[in-house]
C-alpha cells in the first residue's frame, strides 16, 4: 500500500511549515503529497454549494491560509525533497490554457526528476470558471481535448494538434517530462469521469460524497472503472486507484482488498512539532506495517 498526504498545501500553506511537513513525510515513508486547486472561492450568499464539505462551503479547506496554487506549492517543496512524489487532487484542467499548463507541468516534472502526478478533474463551480474567463458548459469536451493536446506536446519532439479548441502546428514545447509523459489520474464519480478514466487515464480518484457509505460506493466505482477500462480495450490492472478514508492497518487491508493502491490521509496537527509527532507515529504504526498489502 502507498500512502499520501492530501490537502498538504492547504494544511501547510506557509513556507517553513510546508518544508517541515514535506521533509518529515518523506522521512517517515509517505509516498506522495497531494495539493488541491481552487483559484478563487465565491463568498456570495447564493454561491454554488461545494459538495466536498457537508455544509457546502469551502471555508474549512482554506482555514489555515487559503488554497495555494498547487503547482507552485509543489515546486517549492520539490526543491527540499528528493524522493516523495508530487500530486494534484485535483487540478481543474478546463480552467487552464492547455499549452501553458503542459509547459508548467513538464517544467515541474523535469526539475523534480520525474516525480509529478496530475490528478485532474473538470470541477463544478461556475463562479470559478467565470473568474478565470473560461466557459463552464463545455468543460467536459475541452477536458478530453486538453488531455490529448498536452500528451502530444509531452510525447512528440515536434508536435502538431488540430482540435476544436486547441490548435498548434510543428511546435516544440521543452523541457519535456522525464518519461515523455506525466501520469494523469482522473477524479470524479460522474459517468463522464468514469468514461474518461477508462478511456485514457493512468489512475482514478473515486469521489465519495460526505454522508455516503464508502464501503458501498467505493467498490462499486472501482468495479465500474475496471469494467469500462476492459471494454475500451485497455488492461484495468494498469490503472492505479487512490482513495481516502483509512488510518489504521485493518482499514488499509479492506481498501487493498477492493483494489485501492494508494490511500490519502489529512494531517490533523496544526503546529510543526505536533505534525512531526503525528507523521512519525503514523509511519511506525501504519506505513511500516502495510508495505506488503
Residue 288, SS3 per DSSP: helix
237/152 Cα distance (integer angstroms): 24
228/179 Cα distance (integer angstroms): 27
pLDDT in tens, 142-161: 999 999 999 999 999 999 99
Residue with cell 500530486: 87
Q: Is the pLDDT of residue 246 over 90?
A: yes
Q: Is the pLDDT of residue 173 over 90?
A: yes
pLDDT in tens, 13-36: 999 999 999 999 999 999 999 999
- Is residue 197 within 8 Å of 215, Cβ to Cβ? no
pLDDT in tens, 178-234: 999 999 999 999 999 999 999 999 999 999 988 899 999 999 999 999 999 999 999
Nearest-CA neighbor of 98 among 7, 163, 183, 189? 163
Is the entire prediction scored with pTM above 0.75? yes
Q: From start to end of 122-226, where are the E strands?
A: 159-162, 167-171, 184-188, 203-206
Confidence of residue 98 (pLDDT cuts 50, 70, 90): very high
Q: What CATH number is associated with residue 86? A: 3.20.20.30
Count how many domains the chain has. 1
104/270 Cα distance (integer angstroms): 30
Q: Is the pLDDT of residue 70 over 90?
A: yes
- Provide the residue range defining the domain that includes 131: 2-289
Give the pLDDT confidence score for residue 209 in this predicted structure: 87
Amino acid at each position: 500500500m502507498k500512502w499520501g498526504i492530501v490537502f498538504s498545501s492547504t494544511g501547510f500553506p506557509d513556507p517553513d511549515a510546508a518544508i517541515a511537513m514535506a521533509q518529515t513525510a518523506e522521512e517517515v515513508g509517505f509516498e506522495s503529497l497531494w495539493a488541491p486547486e481552487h483559484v478563487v472561492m465565491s463568498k456570495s450568499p447564493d454561491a454554488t454549494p461545494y459538495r466536498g464539505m457537508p455544509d457546502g462551503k469551502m471555508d474549512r479547506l482554506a482555514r489555515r491560509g487559503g488554497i495555494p496554487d498547487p503547482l507552485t506549492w509543489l515546486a517549492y517543496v520539490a526543491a527540499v525533497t528528493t524522493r516523495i512524489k508530487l500530486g494534484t487532487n485535483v487540478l481543474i484542467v478546463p480552467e487552464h490554457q492547455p499549452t501553458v499548463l503542459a509547459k508548467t507541468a513538464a517544467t515541474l516534472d523535469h526539475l523534480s526528476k520525474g516525480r509529478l502526478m496530475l490528478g485532474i478533474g473538470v470541477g463544478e463551480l461556475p463562479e470559478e470558471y467565470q473568474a478565470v474567463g473560461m466557459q463552464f458548459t463545455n468543460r467536459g469536451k475541452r477536458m478530453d481535448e486538453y488531455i490529448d493536446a498536452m500528451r502530444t506536446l509531452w510525447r512528440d519532439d515536434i508536435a502538431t494538434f488540430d482540435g476544436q479548441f486547441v490548435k498548434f502546428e510543428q511546435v516544440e514545447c521543452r523541457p519535456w517530462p522525464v518519461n515523455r509523459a506525466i501520469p494523469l489520474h482522473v477524479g470524479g464519480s460522474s459517468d463522464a469521469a468514469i468514461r474518461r478514466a477508462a478511456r485514457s487515464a493512468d489512475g482514478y480518484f473515486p469521489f465519495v460524497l460526505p454522508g455516503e457509505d464508502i464501503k458501498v460506493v467505493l467498490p462499486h466505482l472501482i468495479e465500474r472503472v475496471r469494467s469500462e477500462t476492459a471494454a475500451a480495450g485497455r488492461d484495468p490492472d494498469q490503472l492505479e486507484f487512490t482513495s481516502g478514508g483509512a488510518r489504521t492497518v485493518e482499514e488499509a487491508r479492506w481498501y487493498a482488498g477492493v483494489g485501492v493502491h494508494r490511500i490519502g490521509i489529512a494531517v490533523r496537527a496544526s503546529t510543526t512539532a505536533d505534525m512531526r509527532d503525528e507523521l512519525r507515529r503514523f509511519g511506525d504504526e501504519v506505513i511500516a506495517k502495510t508495505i506488503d498489502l
